[in-house]
Structure 1
Amino acid sequence: MQMQKPSTHRIDKTIITRNSNVDPEKTSITKATFDDGIENYEVALPSKPICDYSDWRSDICNMTGDIRTNGYNNSTIFFIPPADTYVPKEQQWSINPYSQKMYTYLINYVTVKQLRGPQGASTCTVNMNVPAILLSIGGPSAPGNIWHAFTDVLIPLFLASKPLRGEVQLLISSYHQDFIDKHSLILKDLTRYEIINFDQDEEVRCYPQMMVGLLNHRDFGIDPDRAFDRFNMFRFRLYIRNTYSLPVDVDIPYKVHDSLTDKKPRLMLILRSSTRKFLNQEEIEEAITKNGFELVQMDLKNGDNLTKLSKIVDSCDVLMGIHGAGLTNMVFLRTNALMIQVIPLGGSHMNNGAHGYYDLPAQEMKLRTIHYTITVEESSLLDKYGWDHPAIKDPEAVSARGWQDRQKYYWFEQDVRLNVTRFEPVLTKALELLKE
């Protein structure tokens, strides 16, 4: 009896056996010749691994083929490449599906398995003909922090899903119904399909394409060079305004009503409820009204109804607050409105954060900014620790010790007693800008 010769693969002019250690994924070759002992035919080789850890902010997997989910108590995605693709061995990746992989708390990791064939994969119970995106809303987004919600979830998800015009299904890991309810208008605009709680989903859902994880460009920002249609933060703010049924092409409220001689610009004062609070709120409010503004208060404890809140912010000309998540509501301001950021004690670390997290995004959204850096005497840390404590004497040295010390002193223990006499020139400047 004539013996059949062993199956081999030919890459360029090299013959390798099926059990060879050559890894086609590490080559630049996209085709190989398959010889099964009877006939030759070509197969495609994977051009690169489907999962990529190389971005310092985000882990991403992109798959096209036969994709099957197994969420309940398993958190696994099975990927079966197209039949004409040669996969030398099964591979597996553990993925943090939160867009900033530095955050690992309150995050359920997802396993992505690339199989050689359908053997070992569960049978589909739901077949979809649209792509899917699997993402996490755990981590710092879970407690309801609006800055992290936009930075880590809503902006990256918008960039990934908006080009699909609603023809995409969202699978959510580390699911929180409060997050879904709070941001429902945006989510309903990005997908026409049911949003799936992936960790509790007992169905085996099958898709032709899937992205696991989201690409995060930078803090509260978009890099136009990496975005579809060179999208930017100005256009994103207009998108948010449109989503919340706010007028898009309209001047600031003060200018719209400038024919009324008694009209005052409206200033929304953000009142934080826990850390970095204003200790002399009444004195600040009096200074605001004395310097020609109509005062509007925003208590962050009542910020869950974004539809209602967005309309109040839209009616204001100025958003003012201590460095913190409440300033994220600038996305509801009109073009050329003003943000006043009060920067607490904390040295260059706090100043850099204030610029990168809020001033820069505001300027990219075509808003105007003023920042006010407090003195040591305006920080509650002086009363608590005295002049000789390192947190007072040398914020740079304390910050250099690491994030834990920075958080303890400057983020969690600090409140502000604003020197209104020193602050009043900021209000004068703000009024001048609004009148330009």
Structure 2
Amino acid sequence: MKPLRTPPRVEPRRPGNALIVAAMLLSLCILSLIKARYCPSPYGIPAIDSCLIFSFLGDLWISCSQQDSAVAESAGDGSNLLFCAGVEDNEGNAVAPKIVADEAVSNLSRPLCSETSKRSNVCEAEGGIRLQGSSRTIFLHPSLADREWKIKPYCRKHDPPAMKKVNEWTMKPFPSDKAPPRCTAKYTVPALVFSIGGFTDNLFHDFTDVIVPLFISSYRFHGEVQFVVADFKPPWVSRFILILRQLSNYDIIDADNDDPGAVRCFPRVIVGLSFHKELGVDPSKTATGYSIVEFKEMLRKAYGLERPTVERWGVRRKPRLLLISRNKTRVFLNEKGIADMAASLGFDVRATEPTNKTDVGEFARLVNSADVMIGVHGAGLTNMVFLPAGAVLIQVVPMGAPGWLPRDTFGQPSRDMQLKYLDYHIEGDESSLTEQYPKDHPVLKDPSSIHKQGWYALSEVYLENQNVRPQLDRLKNTLLEARSLLPHNSKEA
């Protein structure tokens, strides 16, 4: 577990440095006066009454009379901004500044927000960022934006029911006729703003909507990034805190409960997370080519998982099978029969149901000890992220489920995670739906007609109101195939 470090707050004043900076800036003012008198402005900046030159070193402001030109800011954050105005207030902030920048035209022409996928938007800005969590507002230098940008920082923008649970954030330039909001805390690392609203508290959505995109967006910073969490859920943060600590070295900022007067200043801000695919990472879209393999390695570190890969099985060691139970929908109606049959094939069988109250680390270690994991399509199969490489995932696909659903949610992602994948499709005589509908009903005879009614119709019928009873003889063949895919000692087996 990484020790947390409190982010740097207001930087201490350094009188010696401040005097040096003051002398340098005064010299610049004098040179500017000479230049203004004898040379035209190369930037074409209109004449102004005075120029305020700003430096973060010592929070020092210096003003001097100047005609026809302006002086660049030394902000200490990589930006080259021109602060031109009339007077200062008692706090040393500019009053009614006129602010321009040496790259203002190119900055304004570049959009702050972009679509990273059909599921996600990301907004990003750099240079003099002021974040006020209580109002969900991010103030930008006018050289970075000439209008407001709004975003809901959650990776499910195509899904209105999810987005209703996500609050909107605003990024906007601070007014040109007022002083910028005064910083109450300063940071030297970027801020990453994201929401844990939406469909979280379902393990699949926890990972595919937030945790994997968070990895994609933050892994490149090697911990040197400040998480600002919106739509805060203390139980959710507590549940996944070990993962969050792997990705950020700093205490999380709860935006919803931040002090109303707090204005946090960052050199850079990223609002929203990048989404690539369900439970997946596209290495070609990451900063250094990292993939879901590095994601699984990160999880092993977070929870102290001992097995990166499966070991050989034989007489001295039985292969372990973990059966993911369900007790509300898509229930195994013959679970005990399945467990007994698997045991007769030589498996060390464990059956359990993960819930939102299950300790993630404890369950992750149980999953990591398994060689084969089997379960009906559903959130519980998301625990495959903890399986060692070379393990086998068996997805039991409910009758009537469209082909893309098992493939995209767990089939392809499991292969990317270096797992072996098998599926078992429930047939008519193995489904409880045959007891609910007449034999000639479209639910049984024409599932595609139900699919055409949309996600919520097919989900209600085939996922929320179906239980399964796999035929043991048929399922036995699938378990034997799974066992054959595991490395084993042939002489013992």
> Residue in 2 aligned with 1:432?
484
- The number of aligned residues is 390
> Residue in 2 aligned with 1:171?
228
Amino acid at match of 1:416: V
In 1: Cα distance, 2:375 partner to 2:144 partner: 57
Instruction: After TM superposition, give the deviation of residue 248 of structure 1 in Å.
Output: 5.4
Q: Which runs of 5+ in 1 are unaligned?
A: 1-31
Flag the 1:116–1:86 CA change in 2: closer, same or farther, 3 A.
Answer: farther
SS in 2 for 1:34: coil
- Is 1:267–1:293's contact at 8 Å kept on the other side of the alignment? yes
Instruction: After TM superposition, give the deviation of residue 287 of structure 1 in Å.
Output: 1.5
Select the residue among 422, 425, 428 that pairs with 1:373: 425
- Within a 5 Å distance, the mapping from 1:284-295 to structure 2 comes to 284-295=338-349
- Within a 5 Å distance, the mapping from 1:255-270 to structure 2 comes to 255=312, 258=314, 261-270=315-324
> Residue in 1 aligned with 2:251?
194
> Residue in 2 aligned with 1:35?
45
> Residue in 1 aligned with 2:120?
58
- Within a 5 Å distance, the mapping from 1:47-86 to structure 2 comes to 47-53=109-115, 55-72=117-134, 74-81=135-142, 85=143
Segment of structure 1 superposing worse, 118-127 or 220-229: 118-127
Select the residue among 355, 368, 372 that pairs with 2:407: 355
- Is 2:117–2:276's contact at 8 Å kept on the other side of the alignment? no
Segment of structure 1 superposing worse, 216-225 or 382-391: 382-391
In 1: Cα distance, 2:450 partner to 2:424 partner: 22
Q: Which deviations, in whole Å up to 9, do the C-alpha atoms of 1:210-240 show, x marking residues without a partner?
A: 0011111111111111012211222322221
> Residue in 1 aligned with 2:60?
none
SS in 1 for 2:304: coil
Max Rg structure: 2
> Residue in 2 aligned with 1:15?
none
Instruction: After TM superposition, give the deviation of residue 39 of structure 1 in Å.
Output: 3.9
Q: Which runs of 5+ in 2 are unaligned?
A: 1-41, 48-66, 71-100, 489-493
Flag the 1:383–1:35 CA change in 2: closer, same or farther, 3 A.
Answer: same
Matched, 1:342 2:396: yes
Select the residue among 272, 276, 291 that pairs with 1:213: 272
SS in 1 for 2:343: helix
Which TM-score applies when normalising by structure 2?
Answer: 0.75
> Residue in 2 aligned with 1:26?
none
SS in 1 for 2:404: helix
SS in 2 for 1:222: coil
In 2: Cα distance, 1:371 partner to 1:400 partner: 24
In 2: Cα distance, 1:114 partner to 1:86 partner: 7
In 2: Cα distance, 1:75 partner to 1:387 partner: 54
Flag the 1:53–1:361 CA change in 2: closer, same or farther, 3 A.
Answer: closer
Matched, 1:91 2:147: yes
Q: Which deviations, in whole Å up to 9, do the C-alpha atoms of 1:366-422 show, x marking residues without a partner?
A: 110110111012111111122122211111110011112111101211111111122
Matched, 1:161 2:218: yes
SS in 2 for 1:363: helix
In 2: Cα distance, 1:286 partner to 1:189 partner: 40
Q: Which deviations, in whole Å up to 9, do the C-alpha atoms of 1:96-116 show, x marking residues without a partner?
A: 110221231311111111236
- Within a 5 Å distance, the mapping from 1:395-406 to structure 2 comes to 395-406=447-458
Select the residue among 252, 256, 264 that pairs with 2:310: 252
> Residue in 2 aligned with 1:228?
287
Matched, 1:149 2:210: no
In 2: Cα distance, 1:265 partner to 1:404 partner: 39
SS in 2 for 1:214: coil
Flag the 1:120–1:386 CA change in 2: closer, same or farther, 3 A.
Answer: farther
Instruction: After TM superposition, give the deviation of residue 117 of structure 1 in Å.
Output: 4.5
In 1: Cα distance, 2:177 partner to 2:233 partner: 33
Flag the 1:34–1:346 CA change in 2: closer, same or farther, 3 A.
Answer: farther
In 1: Cα distance, 2:115 partner to 2:440 partner: 45
Task: Write out the 4+ residue segments of structure 1 that deviate beyond 6 Å after TM superposition.
Answer: none
In 1: Cα distance, 2:397 partner to 2:144 partner: 57
Which TM-score applies when normalising by structure 1?
Answer: 0.84
In 1: Cα distance, 2:137 partner to 2:435 partner: 53
Flag the 1:61–1:428 CA change in 2: closer, same or farther, 3 A.
Answer: same
Flag the 1:86–1:189 CA change in 2: closer, same or farther, 3 A.
Answer: closer
SS in 2 for 1:230: coil
Segment of structure 1 superposing worse, 336-345 or 49-58: 49-58
Q: What's the % identity of the aligned pairs? A: 34
